[in-house]
Amino acid sequence: MQTRSLAPLSLLPKSVVGLGKEILRHVLRRPVVGLAVVAEQEDGRVVLIRRGDTGTWALPGGTVEWGETLVSTFHRELLEEAGIERATMGTLVGVYSRPDRDPRFHAVTVVVRAKVDAPSRPPLNGLEIREVKAFGAGELPADLAMGMGDFLRAGLRGDAPEVE
């Protein structure tokens, strides 16, 4: 006897379900939880991504998906955005919640340090991420997208975690 799931969402394509979740986030007007990573390679260079929407550099990361932990988000986002297959999560840099950081929505962003291998493949979505590059200390861009310059500077300082 074959059983069929009665859950109506399971019948919809994943892209439709994802779009519906994104719309609900905005409709419910609750902050979105995100993760950003100060991704440092063994040689001390920091891996950044160039965003497709603004053309500016940013830390790799993104929103926590339904059913994910911060640790699974960490690995998924590094792989999707930066092509990093091996990474070890380090210490907490801070939790940032100022509503004006991201013009798209109010985000609460958890920022962590990480030791990462060099990217081994291109980003999964070439429209979202234009480029991935490792920067030495003297080469880092002055301004990062969405106020992430604060995140990066705090991560490189290595001070106690900040809470905003």
Catalytic annotation, residues: 131
Is the CB of residue 59 less than 8 Å from the CB of residue 144?
Answer: yes
And the tokens for 47? 């891996």
Q: How far apart are CA 99 and CA 82, in angstroms?
A: 26
Helix, strand, coil distribution of the chain in percent, nearest 5: 30, 30, 40
- Enter the tokens of residue 57: 């550099």
Q: What angle do CA 64, 65, 71 make, to 5 degrees?
A: 50
Q: Are 60 and 152 in contact (CB under 8 A)?
A: no
